Amino acid sequence: MMKASKAQVSDSTDCSANNICIGSNEKTYNTASSPREDDIFGRVSFKKENFVASLHGCSEKYDAILCLSVSKWIHLNWGDDGLITLFVKIWRLLRPGGIFVLEPQPWSSYNRNRQVSKTATLNFNNIILRPHVFREILLDKIGFRSAEIVTDSLSGTVAGFNRPIIAFTK
Ligand SMILES: C[S@@+](CC[C@H](N)C(=O)[O-])C[C@H]1O[C@@H](n2cnc3c(N)ncnc32)[C@H](O)[C@@H]1O
């Protein structure tokens, strides 16, 4: 069972936590044991890095990886190659049975941000792997065993965040 807790910022480049959360102000979550208020800061670390270009040679394995509202930014900045790198890296970082929780932004959301930079515009124009095929890619190409829709929508959330969340099992 996953037990997660939020904790402090660290410049550490090691892979010491058991769960990882990409792009949530670089929060990392630890699953070592049930969190207690007084020892959370000793057991959880933060890392700030580009997930696409980092974590090479990381041997740590994680129980769960969250990727919430991040895939669009990696996709716009790094194109289809960056997206596949993201998915492959996540698969490698998970233990067997580990869970990848993905909240992908829809294509309509890409359209709104396509002009944030020249790179984003270029990548936007060349993207082939649109969000509606992510599930198929993760199951058929990356190797996840199953996909479960955690929620179809999150009513009551601020505009733009009422999106499906999917949990993929390695
Ligand atoms: C819309 S925010 C989502 C934050 C958080 N996951 C949430 O759901 O509230 C997008 C996040 O993607 C992160 N991000 C974008 N490209 C990234 C990359 N290459 N590596 C790691 N994080 C990235 C940004 O730093 C930012 O925190």
pLDDT tens digits, 54-85: 877 778 899 999 999 999 999 999 999 999 99
**How many CA atoms does the CB half-sphere of 140 hold within 13 Å?**
5
Give the pLDDT mean for 23-27: 55
Average pLDDT, the chain: 82
Return the CATH number of the domain spanning residue range 19-169.
3.40.50.150
Q: What is the pLDDT of residue 88?
A: 96
Measuring from atom 24 of ligand 1, which residue has the nearest CA? 23
Whether 154 lines ligand 1, by a CB cut-off of 6 Å, is no
Q: What is the pLDDT of residue 151?
A: 85
Percent of the chain with pLDDT over 90: 59
- The two tokens of residue 77 are 């900045």
Q: What is the pLDDT of residue 76?
A: 98
Query: For residues 85 and 52, is the Cβ–Cβ distance under 8 A?
Result: yes
Say whether pLDDT at 121 is over 60. yes
Whether 24 lines ligand 1, by a CB cut-off of 6 Å, is yes
How many Cβ atoms sit within 10 Å of the Cβ of residue 28?
25
Outline where the chain has alpha helix (H).
40-43, 71-93, 107-113, 118-126, 134-136
- The two tokens of residue 42 are 């000793």
pTM confidence score: 0.81
Q: What is the pLDDT of residue 4?
A: 35
Ligand 1 mean position, distance from CA 46 (Å): 14
Say whether pLDDT at 143 is over 60. yes
Predicted confidence band at 117 (pLDDT cuts at 50, 70, 90)?
Answer: very high
Q: Nearest 10 degrees: CA dihedral of 133, 129, 65, 76?
A: -140
